[in-house]
Structure 1
Amino acid sequence: MRFVTATRIVFTAATLLAASGVFAQVGPPPAPQYEAVPAARAGYVWDPGHWHWAPARARYVWTPGHWQVERVGFRWMPGHWDGPRWIPGHWVR
């Protein structure tokens, strides 16, 4: 009976640990790097550079700005941080 109880306790603990997941607290990204915005290009909108978390490197990595092909009837919403969460750039009507 003791073996069954001990087995049940170990199994329950292992199940709870597996279901809980592991989360690491990572600080905010560094301040944005200065990028000179290039002269406007017809048919394109500028998407500014931003920091993104690179798990393989365990640090933030700078992604430089780039041009997005313009979509008629839409407005480009640049990516931005919403607290600890990165919201990628996207088109909105």
Structure 2
Amino acid sequence: MSMSTSIRLAALAAVTMLASGCVVEQPAPRRHPVVVEQPAPGYVEVIAPQAPPTVLVEEEPAPRPGYVWARGYWHWNGRKYVAMHGHWEPVRPGYHYVHPYYVQRGDGWHLNVGVWVAG
């Protein structure tokens, strides 16, 4: 191999190595929280045989800027209803909070937990 061919091959290899290291990656798009419609794996739904108490778990506090009050609710523990106290949730732009509520079906009372919903 001649000297000029060796120089050309070395130059080509150097340019290839330099060019291969110059990868410009675009940042990943920001993803917003997704509201899961299906129960998570391992989720066990407890069905209450009787309606929850009509007594409020607690009084709703005064509004707090930047937060939504997630109301307390009655949770069926398999034997009786237990009060679950409310808590503050940070506001999520583009979402609204749906408070926990029960729905009566043929097999008993089903709790729909509080969730953030787009819109």
Fold conserved (TM > 0.5)?
A: yes
Tell me how large the CA RMSD over aligned residues is.
Answer: 1.9
State the Cα deviation string for residues 16-74 of structure 1 (Å, max 9, x = none): xxxxxxxx97211111325322111111101111100112xx11100111111111110
Tell me, yes or no, if structure 1 residue 80 matches structure 2 residue 106: no
AA in 1 matched with 2:102: W
Percent identity over paired residues: 35
More helix as a share of residues: 1
The structure 2 residue matched to 1:49, chosen from 45, 59, 72, is 72
Tell me, yes or no, if structure 1 residue 33 matches structure 2 residue 56: yes
**Where does structure 1 lack aligned partners over 5 or more consecutive residues?**
1-23
With the length of structure 1 as denominator, give the TM-score of the two structures: 0.65
Once superposed, which parts of structure 1, at least 4 consecutive aligned residues long, lie more than 2 Å away? none
Aligned length: 68
1: CA distance, partners of 2:99 / 2:56: 15
**Where does structure 2 lack aligned partners over 5 or more consecutive residues?**
1-46
With the length of structure 2 as denominator, give the TM-score of the two structures: 0.52
1: CA distance, partners of 2:102 / 2:55: 11
